[in-house]
Chain A
Amino acid sequence: MIEILPRNSIRLLVLLLAQILVFNNIEIGGGYMIPYVYILFVILLPFETPGWMTLILGALLGLAMDVFTETLGMHMAATVVMAYIRPYVLANFAPRDGYESGSFPRVHYYGLPWFVKYALILILVHHLVFFYLEIFRIQEFFTTLLRVVLSTLFSGVLIVGSQFFVFRK
């Protein structure tokens, strides 16, 4: 648990910087596809992380994003919901004999289909909360829904892709 701490802090910093300096400037499909990859931090937290710690780390992560994008509370609300459902999603997708100790929620350990299912659900929940909170009106319900779905796919491709190119092990 001790050596996990520095590794996760570095990952947190790298992801925040990448999101703020690079991914916040990317937008394709006429404003329908906007990637939020910083949530990879919550996705990659070790299995043993207690629920309360996931919640607090998620809240801090969201708050940090909020301060840098001047959307106070929006990213935080989204990451907190995402952190809350993570243990349930993990329990639901657990292999028959549970997760091995010393393994991490990665493609490397549990394979591509498992990771895609697990990550997409968390990304979708985060994007649902975030995009509806951002627009905060019901009139453009279906436009926003389309944005949520397309952005989830875009973030999903980037996040799953990162498993092959950046966070290989």
Chain B
Amino acid sequence: MRSLLRFLVRYHQFILFLILEIFALILVGQFNSFQRAKIFKMKHRIQGGLEQRFEKFTQYFHLEQENEDLVHENVRLYNLLPSSYYNPLAKDLIDSSLVQKYVYVEASVISNSTNKQFNFLIIDKGSKQGVAPEMAVVCSRGIVGVVKECSDNYSSVVSVLNKEFFPNAMIQRNGYFGSMAWGGLNYRKSVLKEIPLHVNVQEGDTIITSGHSTVFPKGILIGTVASYENYDGNYYRIEVDLSTDFKNLSHVMVIKNLMREEQIKLQEGLQDD
């Protein structure tokens, strides 16, 4: 007993180090989604207010850019209005055949990172505002990410700058699709893979979402082709300049797909066969 005590006293520093280090590693490894949600809520009580205030302050710096984007967006939307179309039949279209599929919810970014390997954003809308996991998040300049978890008034969003997020993308000009994967370093660039070599790819080609997943609507801008190379003899490795600048992101939109359940049910039916 005494020798055990002597041992403990002599090596107390090393033993404490081992305990703390093992505890930290367990935290890294065992960090499941339940704990994540709990920590997430706790953190927001502390940090939400603080960062929101700071974010409000820093938003002023981006006002000019932000206004410009909003003007562009307005112009685009005005162009879509029925009043800006000429109807040669001089009759109103009866559009009961049209059913709304996507609903947009606007949100502000209250925390964001670009310097980690697995980046997340926090936005100020949560389950009380109708946001739910797996909803798409975009901004006026293009794709942002997908909602991961929601508390009452906040949601965490897996950013495109996350090594475990692979949005489905397609080349707008010819419709060939593949999946995007972020390289983990440059926040302005991402990589499109799985495009076969026979496809005609050119620098400057527009890359958009393919709409094959149930998350993103088709046609949301991802970026433009910066360069491409023969990757492994079968496929191209295409470097894409992301259209969204994650460094000065402040207003985003969450897209709710009203027909998602239906689509998922059908897909599950296929897998069961």
Where the two chains meet, the residues of A that have a C-beta atom closer than 8 Å to any C-beta of B are 21, 24-27, 30-32, 34, 51-52, 55-56, 59, 62, 66-74, 76-77, 80-81, 84, 87, 133-135, 140, 143, 147
Contacts and interface: CB of A to CB of B under 8 A. Distances in A.
Contacts of B36: 70, 72
Interface of B (DSSP majority class): helix
Contacts of B28: 72-74, 77, 133
Given A31-B115, A80-B21, A84-B17, A70 B187 contact: no
A38 B43 CA distance: 19
A34 B187 CA distance: 13
Which 10 A-B pairs have CB atoms at the shortest separation, nearest pair first?
A73-B27, A31-B185, A73-B28, A77-B24, A76-B24, A27-B115, A51-B13, A84-B17, A30-B186, A34-B115
Contact of A77 (B16, B21, B54): B21
Q: Contact size class for B?
A: 35 or more
Interface in B1-43: 12-14, 16-17, 20-21, 23-29, 31, 35-36, 39-40, 42-43
For the complex, would chain A's binding face be called helix, strand, loop or mixed by DSSP majority? helix
Contacts, number: 92
24 contacts: A26-B115, A27-B187, A30-B185, A30-B186, A31-B184, A31-B185, A32-B185, A55-B13, A56-B16, A56-B20, A59-B20, A67-B39, A68-B43, A70-B120, A71-B116, A72-B27, A72-B28, A72-B36, A72-B39, A73-B29, A73-B31, A76-B20, A81-B21, A133-B28
Interface of B: 12-14, 16-17, 20-21, 23-29, 31, 35-36, 39-40, 42-43, 47, 51, 54, 113-118, 120, 156, 184-187, 247
Given A24-B113, A31-B186, A135-B184, 17 more contacts: A25-B113, A31-B114, A31-B185, A31-B187, A52-B16, A55-B13, A66-B27, A69-B116, A70-B156, A72-B35, A73-B28, A73-B29, A74-B28, A76-B20, A76-B24, A77-B25, A87-B13
